[in-house]
Copies of this chain bind each other. A is one copy, B any other.
Amino acid sequence: MQNSQSSSKRFLDIIGELQSLISEQKIEYGDRLPSERHLAEKLQVSRTAVREALRSMELLGLIETRRGEGTFLSDFKKHQLVEVLSTFIMQQARSIQDVVETRMIHERAAITTITENEEFRMLPVWVGMQSKLIDGESVFLREDMVRETIVATENRLSLKIWFLLKQYSGVSFDVAIEAVEEIAIVHELLDEMMAGNTEKALICYEKWMNQVEGERREME
Protein backbone atom coordinates (compact mmCIF):
# COMPACT_ATOMS: atom_id res chain seq x y z
CA MET A 1 0.00 0.00 0.00
CA GLN A 2 2.88 2.32 0.73
CA ASN A 3 4.71 4.05 -2.04
CA SER A 4 7.53 1.61 -1.69
CA GLN A 5 8.31 1.70 -5.38
CA SER A 6 8.21 5.44 -5.23
CA SER A 7 7.35 6.33 -8.81
CA SER A 8 3.72 5.26 -8.84
CA LYS A 9 1.37 8.05 -7.97
CA ARG A 10 -1.04 7.39 -5.19
CA PHE A 11 -4.10 8.62 -6.96
CA LEU A 12 -3.35 6.41 -9.91
CA ASP A 13 -3.24 3.42 -7.61
CA ILE A 14 -6.58 4.43 -6.22
CA ILE A 15 -8.06 4.68 -9.68
CA GLY A 16 -6.75 1.20 -10.32
CA GLU A 17 -8.33 -0.10 -7.17
CA LEU A 18 -11.58 1.52 -8.07
CA GLN A 19 -11.49 -0.23 -11.41
CA SER A 20 -10.99 -3.57 -9.68
CA LEU A 21 -13.79 -2.79 -7.31
CA ILE A 22 -16.09 -1.93 -10.15
CA SER A 23 -15.43 -5.09 -12.05
CA GLU A 24 -15.49 -7.28 -8.95
CA GLN A 25 -18.76 -5.97 -7.68
CA LYS A 26 -20.12 -5.84 -11.17
CA ILE A 27 -21.11 -2.24 -10.93
CA GLU A 28 -22.74 -1.19 -14.17
CA TYR A 29 -23.40 2.10 -15.86
CA GLY A 30 -25.74 4.15 -13.77
CA ASP A 31 -25.08 2.22 -10.58
CA ARG A 32 -23.88 3.94 -7.46
CA LEU A 33 -20.36 3.60 -6.16
CA PRO A 34 -19.60 3.38 -2.45
CA SER A 35 -19.44 6.78 -0.81
CA GLU A 36 -16.18 8.68 -0.57
CA ARG A 37 -15.96 8.02 3.13
CA HIS A 38 -16.51 4.30 2.72
CA LEU A 39 -13.98 4.10 -0.06
CA ALA A 40 -11.42 5.93 2.04
CA GLU A 41 -11.87 3.47 4.86
CA LYS A 42 -11.91 0.47 2.59
CA LEU A 43 -8.76 1.46 0.73
CA GLN A 44 -7.09 2.70 3.89
CA VAL A 45 -6.40 6.16 2.56
CA SER A 46 -7.72 9.58 3.38
CA ARG A 47 -10.85 10.95 1.86
CA THR A 48 -8.71 13.62 0.20
CA ALA A 49 -6.83 11.02 -1.78
CA VAL A 50 -10.03 9.29 -2.81
CA ARG A 51 -11.47 12.57 -3.94
CA GLU A 52 -8.47 13.40 -6.09
CA ALA A 53 -8.88 10.10 -7.86
CA LEU A 54 -12.61 10.56 -8.25
CA ARG A 55 -12.29 14.09 -9.60
CA SER A 56 -9.85 12.87 -12.19
CA MET A 57 -12.24 10.18 -13.27
CA GLU A 58 -15.03 12.68 -13.33
CA LEU A 59 -13.09 14.93 -15.66
CA LEU A 60 -12.77 12.01 -18.00
CA GLY A 61 -16.49 11.47 -17.70
CA LEU A 62 -16.05 8.02 -16.28
CA ILE A 63 -18.16 8.85 -13.27
CA GLU A 64 -20.76 11.39 -12.38
CA THR A 65 -21.30 12.90 -8.96
CA ARG A 66 -24.45 14.32 -7.51
CA ARG A 67 -24.31 16.17 -4.24
CA GLY A 68 -26.42 14.60 -1.58
CA GLU A 69 -26.91 11.51 -3.64
CA GLY A 70 -23.62 9.91 -4.44
CA THR A 71 -21.18 8.94 -7.13
CA PHE A 72 -22.35 7.03 -10.15
CA LEU A 73 -20.63 5.12 -12.87
CA SER A 74 -21.49 6.87 -16.08
CA ASP A 75 -21.62 5.93 -19.68
CA PHE A 76 -18.44 6.47 -21.59
CA LYS A 77 -20.37 8.19 -24.29
CA LYS A 78 -20.61 11.28 -22.17
CA HIS A 79 -16.89 11.61 -21.75
CA GLN A 80 -15.68 15.15 -21.51
CA LEU A 81 -12.25 14.12 -22.55
CA VAL A 82 -12.57 15.47 -26.03
CA GLU A 83 -13.84 18.82 -24.81
CA VAL A 84 -11.10 19.25 -22.30
CA LEU A 85 -8.35 18.31 -24.64
CA SER A 86 -9.73 20.53 -27.34
CA THR A 87 -9.13 23.64 -25.31
CA PHE A 88 -5.50 22.82 -25.09
CA ILE A 89 -5.16 21.65 -28.63
CA MET A 90 -6.91 24.68 -30.04
CA GLN A 91 -4.54 26.89 -28.18
CA GLN A 92 -1.79 25.36 -30.20
CA ALA A 93 -3.53 25.32 -33.51
CA ARG A 94 -1.60 27.87 -35.51
CA SER A 95 -4.31 29.08 -37.71
CA ILE A 96 -7.99 29.00 -38.13
CA GLN A 97 -7.16 27.48 -41.45
CA ASP A 98 -6.09 24.25 -39.80
CA VAL A 99 -9.36 24.10 -37.95
CA VAL A 100 -11.40 24.58 -41.08
CA GLU A 101 -9.36 22.08 -43.02
CA THR A 102 -9.63 19.49 -40.28
CA ARG A 103 -13.34 20.00 -40.01
CA MET A 104 -13.61 19.39 -43.72
CA ILE A 105 -11.56 16.25 -43.41
CA HIS A 106 -14.27 14.81 -41.21
CA GLU A 107 -17.01 16.00 -43.48
CA ARG A 108 -15.46 14.58 -46.62
CA ALA A 109 -14.81 11.31 -44.83
CA ALA A 110 -18.47 11.08 -43.85
CA ILE A 111 -19.63 11.73 -47.39
CA THR A 112 -17.26 9.11 -48.70
CA THR A 113 -18.31 6.54 -46.15
CA ILE A 114 -21.95 6.97 -46.98
CA THR A 115 -21.49 7.08 -50.71
CA GLU A 116 -19.46 3.91 -50.71
CA ASN A 117 -21.84 1.92 -48.55
CA GLU A 118 -25.13 0.85 -49.98
CA GLU A 119 -26.85 0.55 -46.64
CA PHE A 120 -26.04 4.13 -45.77
CA ARG A 121 -26.94 5.39 -49.22
CA MET A 122 -30.41 3.95 -48.96
CA LEU A 123 -31.28 5.66 -45.69
CA PRO A 124 -34.54 7.60 -45.90
CA VAL A 125 -32.93 10.69 -44.41
CA TRP A 126 -31.49 11.84 -47.68
CA VAL A 127 -34.73 11.93 -49.58
CA GLY A 128 -36.37 13.54 -46.60
CA MET A 129 -33.76 16.28 -46.65
CA GLN A 130 -34.27 16.91 -50.31
CA SER A 131 -37.98 17.48 -49.93
CA LYS A 132 -37.38 19.66 -46.91
CA LEU A 133 -34.98 21.61 -49.04
CA ILE A 134 -37.52 22.17 -51.75
CA ASP A 135 -40.79 22.74 -49.97
CA GLY A 136 -39.34 25.74 -48.24
CA GLU A 137 -41.68 25.42 -45.27
CA SER A 138 -39.36 24.14 -42.62
CA VAL A 139 -36.05 25.74 -41.87
CA PHE A 140 -33.10 23.71 -42.99
CA LEU A 141 -29.74 24.75 -41.67
CA ARG A 142 -26.38 24.13 -43.20
CA GLU A 143 -25.16 22.36 -40.16
CA ASP A 144 -28.21 20.10 -40.22
CA MET A 145 -27.12 18.78 -43.54
CA VAL A 146 -23.53 18.17 -42.52
CA ARG A 147 -24.39 16.84 -39.11
CA GLU A 148 -26.82 14.29 -40.43
CA THR A 149 -24.16 13.06 -42.77
CA ILE A 150 -21.77 12.38 -39.97
CA VAL A 151 -24.46 10.99 -37.71
CA ALA A 152 -25.33 8.51 -40.42
CA THR A 153 -21.83 7.08 -40.37
CA GLU A 154 -22.44 6.08 -36.75
CA ASN A 155 -18.99 7.23 -35.71
CA ARG A 156 -19.66 9.08 -32.51
CA LEU A 157 -16.11 10.16 -31.99
CA SER A 158 -15.89 11.76 -35.37
CA LEU A 159 -19.18 13.49 -34.68
CA LYS A 160 -17.86 14.78 -31.39
CA ILE A 161 -14.70 16.13 -32.94
CA TRP A 162 -16.62 17.68 -35.79
CA PHE A 163 -18.93 19.42 -33.39
CA LEU A 164 -16.03 21.03 -31.61
CA LEU A 165 -14.27 22.04 -34.79
CA LYS A 166 -17.45 23.57 -36.06
CA GLN A 167 -17.56 25.92 -33.12
CA TYR A 168 -14.00 27.00 -33.60
CA SER A 169 -13.98 27.34 -37.33
CA GLY A 170 -15.86 30.60 -37.39
CA VAL A 171 -18.04 29.60 -40.28
CA SER A 172 -21.68 30.49 -40.06
CA PHE A 173 -23.26 27.09 -40.10
CA ASP A 174 -26.41 27.95 -38.27
CA VAL A 175 -27.75 29.60 -41.37
CA ALA A 176 -30.72 28.38 -43.37
CA ILE A 177 -30.17 27.07 -46.85
CA GLU A 178 -32.37 29.43 -48.83
CA ALA A 179 -30.58 30.82 -51.86
CA VAL A 180 -31.61 29.09 -55.04
CA GLU A 181 -28.07 28.22 -56.06
CA GLU A 182 -27.23 26.81 -52.67
CA ILE A 183 -30.34 24.65 -52.69
CA ALA A 184 -29.35 23.36 -56.09
CA ILE A 185 -25.85 22.46 -54.98
CA VAL A 186 -26.95 20.66 -51.85
CA HIS A 187 -29.68 18.87 -53.73
CA GLU A 188 -27.17 17.66 -56.25
CA LEU A 189 -24.82 16.62 -53.49
CA LEU A 190 -27.53 14.42 -52.04
CA ASP A 191 -28.29 13.01 -55.46
CA GLU A 192 -24.71 12.04 -56.05
CA MET A 193 -24.42 10.56 -52.61
CA MET A 194 -27.44 8.36 -53.12
CA ALA A 195 -26.19 7.41 -56.57
CA GLY A 196 -22.91 6.31 -55.08
CA ASN A 197 -20.72 8.67 -57.07
CA THR A 198 -18.08 9.46 -54.53
CA GLU A 199 -16.03 11.72 -56.73
CA LYS A 200 -18.93 13.79 -57.95
CA ALA A 201 -20.37 14.05 -54.47
CA LEU A 202 -17.08 15.36 -53.19
CA ILE A 203 -16.90 17.87 -56.01
CA CYS A 204 -20.35 19.14 -55.08
CA TYR A 205 -19.27 19.39 -51.50
CA GLU A 206 -16.20 21.34 -52.46
CA LYS A 207 -18.27 23.70 -54.57
CA TRP A 208 -20.65 24.24 -51.69
CA MET A 209 -17.89 24.93 -49.20
CA ASN A 210 -16.18 27.34 -51.54
CA GLN A 211 -19.38 29.29 -51.71
CA VAL A 212 -19.80 29.31 -47.95
CA GLU A 213 -16.20 30.35 -47.49
CA GLY A 214 -16.58 33.15 -50.02
CA GLU A 215 -19.55 34.39 -48.08
CA ARG A 216 -17.55 34.46 -44.88
CA ARG A 217 -14.84 36.55 -46.49
CA GLU A 218 -17.35 39.07 -47.67
CA MET A 219 -18.52 39.50 -44.12
CA GLU A 220 -15.15 40.70 -42.99
Contacts and interface: CB of A to CB of B under 8 A. Distances in A.
A187 interface: no
Interface stretch (A36-44, A137-145, A157-165): A157-165
B98 A155 contact: yes
Contacts of A15: 59, 84
A59 B59 contact: yes
A76 B98 contact: no
By size class, the interface of chain A is 35 or more
Interface string A66-99: 0000000000100011001101111111110011
Contacts of A148: none
A5 interface: no
A124 B9 CA distance: 41
A151 to B, nearest CB: 13
A62 interface: yes
Given A12-B80, A62-B88, 7 more contacts: A15-B59, A59-B60, A62-B85, A76-B88, A76-B95, A105-B105, A108-B109
B101 A155 contact: yes
Contacts of A53: 55
5 contacts: A85-B164, A92-B157, A95-B157, A102-B158, A105-B105
Contacts of A94: 156
Given A19-B88, A48-B48, A80-B12, A98 B60 contact: no
A56 interface: yes
